[in-house]
Structure 1
Amino acid sequence: MPPNWDKLRGQLAGKLVLPADPAYETAKLAYNPLFDSRKPAAVAQVANPSDVQACVALAYASRIPIAARSGGHSYVGYSTPDSGLVVDLGGMKDVQVQPDGTATIGAGARMMDVYAALANAGRCLPAGSCPTVGIGGLTLGGGVGVLTTKFGLTCDKLVSAQIVTGDGKLRTVSASQEPDLFWALRGGGGGNFGIVTSFTFRTEEAPQLTVFQLQFPGGSVADVLGGWQQFIATAPDELWTTMGVSGGNPSTCRINGCFVGSPTGLNPLLNKLIAATGTQPTNRYTLSKSYVDAMKYFGGCASYSNAQCTPSWNGNGVLKRESFTATSRVLAKPLSDPAKFAEVMAGRSGMDVLLDSIGGAAGRVGATETAFPHRGALATAQIYQGSTAASARTAVGEVRDNLGAVIGDGAYVNYIDASLADWGTAYYGPNLPKLRKVAQQYDPDGVLSFEQSVAKA
């Protein structure tokens, strides 16, 4: 039967926005203008779990596509065609920190809101660097970030979650309650098993951090990568690094990161890193920062207030939307010939690859202990070009495939990519069969199914 939008509107504590409504053109927007041509049938701006249940019930009854939106960064435009319903969780963004250090966070909270609230309580959570990313998608895909080596992935801190599954039930899941579903939510990808409405995490005491950057001369990518990959394999957990490679003639590279501690403790480690590369940087700096200021630094909003470091298109901040094409690979082990990586980036002006370290605490969790399979790998590789033109999409796909031949064919599900070959294995590795079983158990009718959902892998 066709969806009864009037009935749904009457059931919601939040708002239902339809194409004829004045608010629709703003309500439908994602972070990336690449998806502006998408015209979902409706956007439900939900206020509580009951609203989410009503949306799932309508999707089941009408057999229309449904997808959740947390921060709006989804790389496939919420996986929702024009006939679908977007469940916008942005209104469910409360962050409550308990005396025991646990924090319950609404699934629509963006990272800057999370960081600021936790910092006010003297706490922190290992999570991503972009301030407008939502906690929901980040956690469900694993959650790589600047404290990964010290404290693990975001999903490693998850204690429990509330979720509306495809059968419309609101469930609380944890290690002792529906453990298979809890396992799947830690790295099994957003939207596969239901719509999470809140997360409860163990947090850590917020540390003082030192951020740094090393800029290296053009043409040194192979040498720097060779030294960096050897250094991070034995680096202390307190040091997290990301190596950025910018394509060109010649390609250039830099190493950014942060250290849990003071510059006094960091500088000897940087000296060892530089020695390992055999290349003197053209620029080196370190800055001591509080936890929340370090997160703002990595998010590109160090000069803004916490309130400003939020979206402008559907909030009161100053951060703009961004056009880009992106995908990923995973650096599974040190390269025997780093020059091959450099060759892939030669002449690729405008293309960046960011190698984010995922060792340390994150690497000491077993590959099947959570759904995130890339334990023991050195880094995820973000492949990024600041354009949505057809030529950019082609170039990004070429670099993805060429890097796959060099560093391995794994990929990070939080850069979900509709054109990735054998994506189920790339995202989930040995965990794919179990994830399929969990999806079948909790969404047997495929209410939440989409182009690259686990059920279709």
Structure 2
Amino acid sequence: MLASAQAAVSGALTRVRPGDPGWPSEAQWNELSQQVGNALVKVQSPLVACLNAPDSDDCRQLFRELKNPYFLGDEVGLTQTLGWVDAWTSTPSVYAVAARNTNDVVVAVNFARRNNLRLVVKGGGHSYQGTSNAPDSLLVWTRKMNNITVQDAFVGTGCEGHAAPVRAVTAGAGALWAHVYDAVTTKAGGYVQGGGCMTVGVAGLIQSGGFGSFSKAYGLAAGSLLEAEVVTADGAVRIANACTNPDLFWALKGGGGGSLGVVTRLTLRVHELPETFGAVNMTIKATSTSAFRRLIGVIIDFYNQNLMNPHWGEQIRFRRDNVLTISMVFQGLSRSEAQAIWQPFMDTLAASPDDFKVEFSPLKIVAISARSFWAPTLFKKLLGFISTDDRPGAPDDNIFWSGNRGEAGQVLHGYESAWLPAALLQDDRRQTLADTLFAATRQWSVSLHVNKGLAGAPAEAVAAARNTATNLAALDAFALLIAGAEGPPAYPGIQGHEPDTALARRDRQAIGRAMAEVRKLVPDAGSYVAESNFFDADWQRSFWGSNYSRLLAIKDQYDPDGLFFVHHGVGSERWSADGFTKIV
């Protein structure tokens, strides 16, 4: 009552911080610890040791370990990205509940609500926006909730008699995609649509919508969600599926992690596994600016004619140094079929040897059994495709794509994305698209993530995506264009390891200029919530478009007081930037 009166007078409700009169006493924290079976952790970042001794052996070892995503994920006080210059810095919570079960989550949520605490949720910790950390907060850490079970005949709660049993996998909120792929594909011979990066958490990806390498075939990861268990702000444990709490179920599918509750368990559809997965990798250097402009047009024409279909995914990258890199994957094709598809493109390059120099590689097109795609075979390790968790005693299935190592411990300089509608590939518009991409590359490198747009996907995959909260722009897009920049692991105040702020600001400005060229062509392009600009002032429209008003209504239903806050999350416009003060 007193708090309500104070809020009415001041015009704001403020969460408590350490040292405030309302901060829980040591006795209250001890009681919380007992209620969660000693799963309460007093958090300290490992980086603190480096602040005092930046030249020590321990600090040098720590900065080596910061390039291991499994080390980062296992540290309660760290996040996979260490910050974003001028935006946020990875800062540990005061306490964390290292939840082992749903009851631990319930107890933590109730404690935060009753004591007016800033609450943070972290699973895999892969948040470019910094949403899985906040100073002066209580963290619900779900990493230990990582059980994975494959089921042959799943029917959702309340759906009995309304839905046919389907093959499915149930994963705890803290499970990582590498381990889910191992259980579903390598061991059980099925396919589940997840993330391209193997160390991303299952719950975070689903709540972001979730694109993976083969989304052009299987759609959004959220489109395969069958059921979720979630702890809402009132401490209730709710089942959300098409038959039970369907509004919450819809919102969890792409409405953004950490805004609607703490997801504790998810069940996803298991699809039939194709016989083969494969990859195409090549680098082409244009010998002049005019040749590069032509090369962009050639690959855009080729993509439109041959690759905008369920077989193909991943990236086509245009660099500032007049280099085109192709890092694509395919499914359901043999190596010879993939080679035949690419032969006309190779013939075009070969016809202009003075303009285009192709980096030769005998492995530019490979195909393997789909069942072994995520298996850490010696072949993939020797060729450098796959890296492993190198800590002593680490599990054998702690693997990740070597290409993702650059993201481990990164400090972002800038990052923006935009969905490009498939209409740009029409005959009368492709040249304009190519010219726009060329103009953007004069400022910064840009990449087309063709698996992150669902144009060309099967109708059922598009329909499932339409029934999620994800921006509808993704359904009509042939690709998500991304421009980003990052630096190595760094942290303010650690001598010799501080972020290069001047370089970061120059990079961010260049990215902004590149994206300005793109927006001349697509002024109202949506942006993917998980891969987006921290500073986007129009984030509601960018991330969710016409779905935002429905999301906000569901937020009001399940979290009317705004216990769950993340930067640019649903309802966050009602709070100060740090999530501590409600703006009335």
Mark yes or no: TM-score above 0.5.
yes
1:372 to 467, 470, 482: 470
Q: Is the 8 A contact 1:436 1:454 kept in 2?
A: yes
Q: Is the contact made by 1:17 and 1:23 (CA closer than 8 Å) also made in structure 2?
A: no
Q: Which runs of 5+ in 1 are unaligned?
A: none
Asked if the contact 1:227/1:276 (under 8 Å) is kept, the reply is: no
Closer/same/farther in 2, CA of residues 260 and 61 from structure 1, 3 Å limit: same
Corresponding residue to 2:212 among 141, 145, 148: 145
Q: Distance in 1 between matches of 2:392 and 2:119?
A: 23
What SS class does the counterpart of residue 244 from structure 2 fall into? Answer: coil
Q: Is the 8 A contact 1:103 1:200 kept in 2?
A: yes
Q: Secondary structure at the match of 1:266?
A: helix
Aligned partners of 2:123 and 2:204 also within 8 Å: yes
Choose which of 30, 37, 52 in structure 1 pairs with 2:79.
30
Secondary structure of the residue aligned to 1:27 is coil
Change (3 A) 1:347 1:445: closer
Query: More deviation in 365-374 or 42-51?
Result: 365-374
Q: How does 1:331-410 map to 2 (within 5 A)?
A: 331-333=420-422, 334=424, 336=429, 337=432, 338-348=434-444, 351-357=445-451, 358-359=453-454, 360-361=457-458, 364-365=462-463, 368-373=466-471, 374-387=474-487, 389-390=500-501, 391-392=503-504, 394=508, 395-408=510-523, 409-410=525-526
CA distance in 2, matches of 1:79, 1:217: 40
Q: Which amino acid aligns with 1:242?
A: Q
AA aligned to 2:109 is: V
State whether structure 2 residue 571 is matched by structure 1 residue 455. yes
Residue equivalent to 1:269:
341
Please report how far the alpha carbon of residue 304 of structure 1 lies from its aligned counterpart in structure 2 after TM superposition.
9.6
Counterpart-to-counterpart distance in 1, 2:215 and 2:182: 19
After superposition, the Cα gap between the structure-2 partners of 1:235 and 1:328, relative to the gap in structure 1 and judged at 3 Å, is closer
Kindly report which structure 2 residues correspond to 1:245-260, keeping only aligned pairs within 5 A, or say none. Answer: 245-246=318-319, 248-260=320-332
Cα distance in 2 between the residues matched to 1:227 and 1:307: 32
> Where do residues 280-359 of structure 1 align in structure 2 (5 Å cutoff)?
282=358, 283=360, 285-291=364-370, 293-295=372-374, 302-303=381-382, 309-310=388-389, 317=398, 321-325=408-412, 326-333=415-422, 334=424, 336=429, 337=432, 338-348=434-444, 351-357=445-451, 358-359=453-454
In 1, Cα distance between equivalents of 2:529 and 2:38: 30
One-letter amino acid of the counterpart of residue 462, structure 2: R
**8 A Cα contact 1:251 1:346, kept in partner:** no
User: Does residue 217 of structure 1 match 2:292?
Assistant: no
Q: Distance in 2 between matches of 1:10 and 1:306?
A: 45
Task: Report how far residue 59 of structure 1 moved.
Answer: 1.6
Whether 2:560 is the aligned partner of 1:444: answer yes
| 2:490 matched residue in structure 1 | none
**Which residue of structure 1 aligns with residue 315 of structure 2?**
242
Residue deviations 1:138-164 (CA, integer Å, cap 9, x gap): 111111111111111111111000011
Q: 1:415 aligns with which of 531, 545, 553?
A: 531
Cα-to-partner distance string for 1:56-108 (whole Å, 9 max, x where unaligned):
11221122221211211111223543111222111011110012321101111
State the partner residue of 2:113. 60
Q: 1:52 to 1:341 in 2, by over 3 A?
A: same
Alignment-derived partner of residue 12 in structure 1: 36
Q: C-alpha displacement at 1:445, in angstroms?
A: 0.9
Mark the CA change 1:306 to 1:157 in structure 2 (over 3 Å): closer, same or farther. farther
Report the 3-state secondary structure (helix = DSSP H, G, I; strand = E; otherwise coil) of the residue aligned with 1:77. coil
1:2 and 2:23 matched: yes
Larger deviation, residues 76-85 vs 368-377: 76-85
Q: CA 1:87/1:301 → structure 2, altered by over 3 Å: closer, same or farther? A: farther
User: Which residue number corresponds to residue 70 of structure 2?
Assistant: none
1:133 aligns with 2:206: no
Do the aligned partners of 1:143 and 1:153 also contact (CA within 8 Å) in 2? yes
Distance in 2 (CA, whole Å) between partners of 1:229 and 1:21 is 46
Q: Give the distance between the partners of 1:16 and 1:380, measured in 2 at CA.
A: 40
Moved more, 23-32 or 373-382: 23-32
Task: Figure out how many residues of one structure are paired with residues of the other and give that number.
Answer: 451
- So what's the TM-score if we normalise by structure 1? 0.88
Structure 1: distance between partners of 2:310 and 2:261: 34
Moved over 6 A (4+): 20-25, 275-281, 304-308
Within the alignment, does 1:431 sit opposite 2:566 as a pair? Answer: no
Rounded Cα–Cα distance in structure 2 between residues aligned with 1:276 and 1:324: 40
Q: Tell me, what secondary structure is at the counterpart of 1:378?
A: strand
Farther-moved stretch of structure 1 (214-223 vs 425-434): 214-223
Q: Counterpart amino acid of 1:346? A: R
Q: Which residue number in structure 1 is paired with residue 251 of structure 2? A: 184
Distance apart, 1:167 and its partner CA: 1.7
Which has the larger displacement, 176-185 or 409-418? 409-418
- Coordinate RMSD, CA, aligned: 3.3
Amino acid across the alignment from 2:277:
L
Match of 2:98 in 1: 45
C-alpha deviation, 1:194, in angstroms: 0.7
Question: How far apart in 1 are the matches of 2:559 and 2:269?
Answer: 28
Q: What SS is found at the alignment partner of 2:204? A: helix
Distance in 1 between residues matched to 2:33 and 2:309, nearest whole Å: 53
Pick which of 326-335 and 18-27 moved more.
18-27
Given that 1:17 and 1:24 are in contact with CA atoms closer than 8 Å, whether structure 2 keeps it comes out as no
Gap change, CA 1:86 and 1:315, over 3 Å in 2: farther
Asked if the contact 2:224–2:464 (Cα under 8 Å) also holds between the matched residues in 1, the reply is no
Name the SS for the 2:182 alignment partner. Answer: helix
The answer to whether the 8 A contact 1:160-1:200 is kept is yes
C-alpha distance in structure 2 between counterparts of 1:407 and 1:313, whole Å? 50
Give yes or no for contact 1:16–1:45 (8 Å, CA) kept in 2: yes
Matched residue, 1:122: 189
Q: Is 1:86 aligned to 2:143, yes or no?
A: no
Normalising to structure 2: TM-score of the pair? 0.70
Secondary structure of the residue aligned to 2:239 is strand
